[in-house]
Amino acid sequence: MTTLTRSQLQSIVDRSPLNRWLGMAVESVDEHAVVLTMRWREELISNPQRQTTHGGILATLIDGAGDYAVAARIGLPVPTVDLHIDYHRAALPGDLRVVASLVHLGRTNAIARAEVFDSAGRLLCSGRGLYHVATATN
């Protein structure tokens, strides 16, 4: 299977109105990883007193990046079957970067892992997703 180009993958990412609203941008894609970025803005705040980014935004980045790591290999996004997120530290205001890689690509399901980093390179959260590829690859 071939890896999509950065612009091909960005076209897939941009199909989703949510991704466009979040401003998800494909920084790079190769046979090893997909890297997405998202510029921080005030609408992402969960706790105004602490100025932290909502955990759902971080989970969305993990899920999306994992899905796009699969899509980069098979050419299209696929449904998420299961998602696990580990939060490591609060996400304070600042741009975010998520790195995802394909762990396993089978005939029925694929597994991808992803990590979200703040602008200083600190790990904010990590996770893995299980994606259903059977209907996409048959």
What would the 3-class secondary structure string for 62-102 be? HHHHHHHHHHHHHCCCCCEEEEEEEECCCCCCCCEEEEEEE
Model confidence at 83, pLDDT cuts 50, 70, 90, reads very high
Task: Report yes or no on 1 lying in a domain.
Answer: no
Contact 27, 94 (CB under 8 A): no
Unique residue bearing structure tokens 């979040």: 22
Domain count, the chain: 1
Contact 131, 106 (CB under 8 A): no
Task: Report yes or no on 55 lying in a domain.
Answer: yes
- Calculate the average pLDDT of the chain: 94
Q: What percent of the chain has pLDDT over 70?
A: 96
Q: Can you say how many angstroms the Cα of residue 113 is from the centroid of all Cα atoms in its chain?
A: 9
Task: Report yes or no on 73 lying in a domain.
Answer: yes
Who contacts 87 (Cβ-Cβ below 8 Å, separation ≥6)?
55, 58, 124, 125
Who contacts 20 (Cβ-Cβ below 8 Å, separation ≥6)?
14
pLDDT value at 136 more than 80: no
pTM: 0.93
What are the tokens at 111?
A: 């597994």
- Which candidate, 40, 71, 70, 35, places its Cα nearest to that of 57? 40
Task: Report yes or no on 18 lying in a domain.
Answer: yes
- Residues spanned by the domain of 128: 6-137
CATH number, position 79: 3.10.129.10
User: For 44, which DSSP code?
Assistant: G
92-125 tens-digit pLDDT: 999 999 999 999 999 999 999 999 999 999 999 9
Angle at 33 between CA 8 and CA 63, to 5 degrees: 80
Model confidence at 2, pLDDT cuts 50, 70, 90, reads low
pLDDT value at 1 more than 60: no
Task: Report yes or no on 34 lying in a domain.
Answer: yes
